[in-house]
Structure 1
């Protein structure tokens, strides 16, 4: 997973703590391959268990944390990765049906394994189709005569495409047309077909920046809103209410989401129903622009 997943993880309230070594159902001194196979099996079972559907990221990780020396704040600052939690995100979004350790090398107290997974899902949604295998890397260290996982790396991220030119706005735009144009782009670029959360956030931000007031608070609100949308992966939206005054406006919409991690997003409907979002807009030099995104 790349820095975008780390950024999303931070926004949904993940806490980073000191290394933890919980109990695990393994014989003392189990080999690295045995540790990995047990971790994959237990994590897959935890993710697929319907009783765990409402568990958050940390709660799911806690079911398998005995296989890890947990990622520390210092490691995150150095690498930009939350490796242990990223492994849980990987399983939630790809739902691997099988895996094979293609390479395992060890030297003293360090081991590195290359693992190929066969996913059964895309963006957390199981689809009856052929999925490309995914190559990953896990690092382990020997501590107190037992092997623990300390790092996980997913597939290399492809170089980003060139960002699109910003769409134009003109005096004919109203608060309603701005929200409509904005949400249509969100559905197109951040919906279920967009892939992993965060994939197209920068693309949407670049395309829609002219729709927003050029102020620091508005830019921050846009960034937070797009991050939330990328996690929800909305499938549709509906305008519920429009309160438009002479120079300000407030619009309320609902969005539908089938994302498997929607329950992890602050402000999202935890019961699976529509999530309500408000937009604020105002006129600047006679031009309507979006000002804030409120959960």
Structure 2
């Protein structure tokens, strides 16, 4: 199937007028924002900001063809990543700390965001990879509506931390082709301590189930991901992520055919480096060991998971 013939779902929704209606419905949520599980209830249309520190306009830190993502996204021409500033979480070890928490980026119009999507397509990218999109779903929907009218036709990837609202995700049904969430933690106390995300595990599990309901397991053709889910899990020092709990959830409550990227690239960053005297960060000030990574891999295999990057 040629890329031009893939006909992503958002094109069908655009032709029917449903995409425009979704964008309008999402826009109204900004008046009393409950886009993420925090439900800040601020009026972002009037410039108020909640936990994500983002108002009416999306803030973009950078965009470019990215060759460091999972192989089915990268292919030969790269994944067209758009990095949004702000986040619904505040991970103390965030490797994109300046973007997610430091305010790096520029507020742009939805029309300009649509232009970025089209430029990435013109550069030959296989997909548009929306990085940290949870808090800017209305703006993304508006931009996709504009871009679809101007010739956007490539796959959309929703690349989130997994701390998503099911209600917000339902606005994206048929719009997003590939969901790529994190499944960060198996325990709420760790999620609260390290990512300041209350009720993370229940929210993450509900979100991933909704994503899987919408798109199913990953479908790859000629080496390129067309539709489905990619689940990321970052191994943390001392098994703080409780990888065995996460792998059991994926296998038993999603699918043993899930494509899972078990990531070994943890490094000290963000507040972990800034607050060197904080004893709570002591274990996070080192990389993971080979044994810790092997344990996460073993947990995946013991639960029958076999697809992805192990």
Q: TM-score range by the shorter chain?
A: under 0.3
Q: Which has the higher contact order (CA 8 A, sep 6+)?
A: 2
Greater Cα radius of gyration, structure 1 or 2:
1
Structure number with higher helix proportion: 2
* TM-score of the superposed pair, with normalisation by structure 2: 0.26
